[in-house]
Chain A
Amino acid sequence: MQAKINTHLIEIFKTECGSVYQCDQTNHFILEYAGRVTAFKPINFIDFTKRVFAINLHDMASNTARHADIAILMPLYTETCFLLTMIDTIRLQRILGGAKTILHLHTLLRTNQLQFA
C-alpha cells in the first residue's frame, strides 16, 4: 500500500542532523531529530526552543561531575524525553535556531516589514 503523502507538511529548516516541519492541518511544528519525531503546539515549540538555548554548554564542558555530561529536557505535553549530550545540544540549537529565523523571516515578508536599505 502506498503511504499517503502529507501535503500539509512544509519544511521549515533542515540540517544534516534533523529538521523542523510545519503541519498546516494540525497547526503543529514537527521536529525530527535522531530518528525521532516530536509534534509541538506552537507555544510549546517556542518553550522547547528556549529551553534548548538555555542549556549551559560551558558548564557541560567544564563540570567534571558525570551528570553534567547530559541535559534532560521533557517538553510540555509531549511523550518524549530528550537526553542531550553536548553535541546533541549544539545540533539541536542549530536546527531550532534556523527554524526560528526562517519563521521570523516569513512573518516579516507576510507583513511587509522588510525594508531594504
Chain B
Amino acid sequence: MKDLLRLRTSLTEEIEALLNEQIKVEAYSSSIYLAMSSWCDRNGYDNSAGYLEKQSGEEREHMLKLFRYVNDLGGSAVSPEVTNIPQEFDSFKGVFEMALQQEIQVTSNFNRIADRCQKANDYVTFQFLQWFLKEQVEEEYVARRILELFDVIGEEGAGRWEIDKHIPKVSFGNAGE
C-alpha cells in the first residue's frame, strides 16, 4: 500500500499548518512596519520612515522564504489575508516599542514551531528554521538597541531629531564598534 499523503509532501498536516500560520505572521509584520513607516513619515521622522520601509521589505522576504519552502516540499502555501493593521501610534517611541513586541512574538512562534518539528521528527524543517532563529536574535537586538536610544539620547529638545538620525545606523554587525 502506497503512502499517498507522504507521496504528496514530506510535511505533516500539522507542520504545514504551522508554517502557513507563520507565513501570515510575517505578512502581518511586513504590513505593520509599513504602517509605522507611514506614521513616521507624516510626523517628520524621515530616517525612521526609510528604515521601517526597508524592514517591511525584509519581513516580506521572510514570508516568501517560508512560502517557497512549503511549496518546494509539496505542500500548499497559502497567500495570507492580513487585516487589522493599526495605522496610528501613540508616539515615536511607541512605534519602536510595538516593533520590539512584534519581534518577540515572532521569536516565540519560531521556538514553538521548532519544538513541534522535534516532536514530529521533522528534522528537515527543524534545520530550515535555524536561519529564522538566528535572524530573530538580530531582529530583537536591533529593536532593543533602537529603544535604548530614547533613553541614551533623551527625547527633550532636539532629542527626537537626533534619535531619528541614529535609527538607520543601528545594526547587529557593528555591535560594539
Contact = CB atoms under 8 A, between A and B. Distances in A.
B7 A110 contact: no
A117 to B, nearest CB: 15
Interface residues of B, number: 11
B1 A42 contact: no
B5 interface: yes
Given A27-B7, A107-B6, A22 B1 contact: yes
Interface string B65-106: 000000000001000000000000000000000000000000
Given A42-B8, A43-B8, A46-B13, A110 B76 contact: no
Nearest to B4: A42
Interface in A27-81: 27, 29, 42-43, 46
Contact of B1 (A46, A106, A111): A106
A23 B66 CA distance: 32
Interface size grouping (class) on chain A: 10 to 19
Contacts, number: 30
Interface in B11-42: 13
B121 interface: yes
27 contacts: A10-B1, A22-B1, A22-B2, A24-B1, A24-B2, A27-B2, A27-B4, A27-B7, A29-B4, A42-B4, A42-B5, A42-B8, A43-B8, A43-B76, A46-B5, A46-B13, A103-B3, A103-B4, A103-B5, A106-B1, A106-B3, A107-B3, A107-B6, A110-B3, A110-B6, A111-B121, A113-B121
